[in-house]
Chain A
Amino acid sequence: MIKSSTNVIGIIFPNSYDALVPELVSVRLMASIPFASRYRIIDFILSSMTHSGIDNISVVVNKNYHSLMDHLGSGREWDLVRKNGGLHIFPPFAEKEVGGPYVGRAGALANLLDFLKSQKEKYVVMSDTNVVVNFDFNSMIQAHMDSGADITIAYNEQELPEELLNYQTSDKIFYYTFDVEQGRIRKVYINPKTVGVQNTSMNIFVIERELLIELVSTAYMQGRSFFMRDVIMPQLSKLNVQAYKYTGYVARISGMKSYFEENMKLLDDYNLDALFSDAPIYTKIRGDNPTHYKDGAKVQNVMMADGCVIEGEVENSVIFRGVKVGKGAKIKNCILMQDTVVEAGANVEYLITDKNVTITAGKEMKGTDTFPVYIEKFKTV
């Protein structure tokens, strides 16, 4: 083995935290939410794994996964078409005893036990998709091996997003912060309401495959679903659980507001370079033509993908592929997803349009920075 990571398999949970963005996941899941003008959120973690040499990746889907299947295809765009390994998509199958799809990370992994047992790699890395990062898994795996940990979990130092603090605790959504002592996680807090910067879990795990199989099998027999809450937390003194501090750029999607803000933040070149400079992020190629700014276009502070035709004014906005902006239309502080059409003379501010939305000629619509207006897929306003 030339690189440590070729001895690693990746597992991605694309549905985690869906409930935080109910509007955006009505026709998709967290992983396939469009982000940064031409990507889906999963592109970041998938490309990161590919760049780290991980080429055996499983995506364990739970529901609403058509858009993700369409996006991932064979995995070719992430260089994941392989004879050995490559990309696997695991749809849920109803458990014999319970019926209905699984619950929680441990539940998802229990679905995968046979697959995990049949693999040969020594390590497993696992990640959700609500955190947008250009992540170097190699350094984390190296840190895991150096520390002799049983499990290593990545975190970053940040304030908890407002949406998490305000979230009405249910038994479905858990977020975690850590007390870290000399690199070891001593305490895990579930859904804390603490304000200020803290060690916030990114839910990126490194663990040996054999240990994972053992932990998940036990949890499954005991009917436990949540890996962090039910498996790791009760065993913090028994298992050596190390914290891996990530200092790179992190965009955490915790609701509509943070989705809006994290897109807007990338209009600052400093943030854009921080997220993209390490390695390219791959995505599904649509084969769009270049964007055409026609006479009459006035554009300031905009991030835009290919395939757009702009005849109006666009300011402080993130524009996805194939968007059309008609003559005299004004767009300010907006996120316009793929193939949105803003007809002539329309005037919109603080708007998030989902795919294929049409804003008809002359229409005026305004949200606010704390409450951007969201318009669902295929809707004509």
Chain B
Amino acid sequence: MAKEMIAMLLAGGQGSRLYALTEKLAKPAVPFGGKYRIIDFPLSNCVNSGIDTVGILTQYQPLELNEYIGNGQPWDLDRLYGGVHVLPPYQKAHGSDWYKGTANAIYQNISFIERYDPKYVIILSGDQICKQDYSDFLEFHKEKNAEFSVAVMEVPWEEAPRFGLMVADENDKITEFQEKPKNPKSNLASMGIYIFNWDILKKYLEEDEADPNSENDFGNNIIPNLLRDERQMYAYHFNGYWKDVGTISSLWEANMEVLDPEHSGINLFDEDWKIYSRNAGMTGHKINEGAVVENALITDGCRIRGTVKHSVLFGGVKVEAGAVVEDAVIMGGTTVKTGAVVKHCIVAENVTICENAVVGAMPDGNENGVATIGSGVIIGENVVVGPNAMVRNNVEGGEVE
């Protein structure tokens, strides 16, 4: 039985620009928005778009990600035929290889894809916060009789040089691809989401693998080769919310934008496009007497006795009396003790911030760094953690810049 389209989700990146947050965690497993992880977005998009078969390509620190995905049940991806499959690199009869590049990761799983005999394959990336209907994208791909389509976003011209850009004609047909060019000819940035006709993708993956000089990368090799051969390539315009959360500041910003759905465009309260996640099974949260809570996302298991303003709190966070949390992202199981002040920062899971410690600071002049505390860290009493600090280990006393 053939599937019309299956998804391959690239989740193997290290996410090195998230530093302490991805030390023991693959980027797609990084928590987001109070009760989600980044990978919940592409997975929920798949299910909401009617895609029931997803291969997740993992490589870097996959343990927590694998456990989180499990049998895929929270996303309704526990299926008899299809469903979600975690695909790490594996040993073969003739040698074994890590995934050498994005294209090589898919190449190594050609046999997985062929089990479903799909007409189309959509390539997704596991580091974006985005609500997108992939069935609209496929509709576009079919209408254009395309062999390859890429989702693109219009970005401001001055930012264009930071992106991979698609130059397209008035029919959205792609004529040129520029990877982070100095002189952009287009402001259509590739979102790294592609739809391929499977026969075309397979052909180019095999050719690419045979080329010893290739980096085995979609952007650097596959797309240029498609262009060279004048394939039917089209750019699909997406104009919803899209954020690459590959850096500390963009991750912090995206969390803050969840607090302002009216203006930012990311609405997690959308009944028609739910984002699903694995539930931790905690009791309802408590706001105790004396607490002050203003514009905050708070979820199961939290106990709030202190002040929480403009912040996103994950499951089981405790804010003790007299503690202040402002403009902060505080991940699951963290405790902020009495008198501690936590501002403008990201605090990872199971951190303890002891009495009267100060973590981060509100922006002041050109100082607007987002302090980051890695998971499981203990910040001692009276410790001061500066606005640009990246804390990976316990701090017993003094100041950390």
Contacts and interface: CB of A to CB of B under 8 A. Distances in A.
B300 interface: yes
Interface residues of B, number: 35
Contacts of B283: 36-38, 272, 276, 281, 303
B63 interface: no
Chain B CB within 10 Å — which of A283, A287, A290, A292 has the most?
A: A290
B241 to A, nearest CB: 15
Nearest to B275: A289
B274 interface: yes
A282 B287 CA distance: 22
Interface stretch (A124-132, A195-203, A293-301): A293-301
B27 interface: no
Contacts of B293: 293, 297, 299
A289 B284 contact: no
Given A292-B269, A303-B286, A280 B298 contact: no
Contacts of B290: 300
A37 B276 CA distance: 20
Interface in B16-58: 33-35
Nearest to B310: A295
B131 interface: no
B306 to A, nearest CB: 13
Contacts of A267: 286
A282 B280 CA distance: 10
Interface in B277-325: 277, 279, 281-291, 293-300, 303, 312-313
B227 interface: no
B294 A290 contact: no
A301 B293 CA distance: 12
A309 B269 contact: yes
Nearest to B308: A293
A70 interface: no
B289 A301 contact: yes
- Residue of B74, B277, B296 with most partner-chain A CB within 10 A: B296
B295 A306 contact: no
B297 A269 contact: no
A281 B300 CA distance: 13
A300 B291 contact: yes
Contacts of A38: 283-284, 300
7 contacts: A272-B286, A290-B35, A291-B297, A293-B298, A302-B287, A304-B284, A305-B300
Interface of B: 33-35, 73-74, 259, 268-269, 274-277, 279, 281-291, 293-300, 303, 312-313
Given A290-B312, A291-B285, 14 more contacts: A37-B283, A37-B284, A267-B286, A280-B282, A292-B259, A292-B296, A292-B297, A297-B294, A300-B288, A300-B291, A303-B283, A304-B286, A309-B269, A319-B284
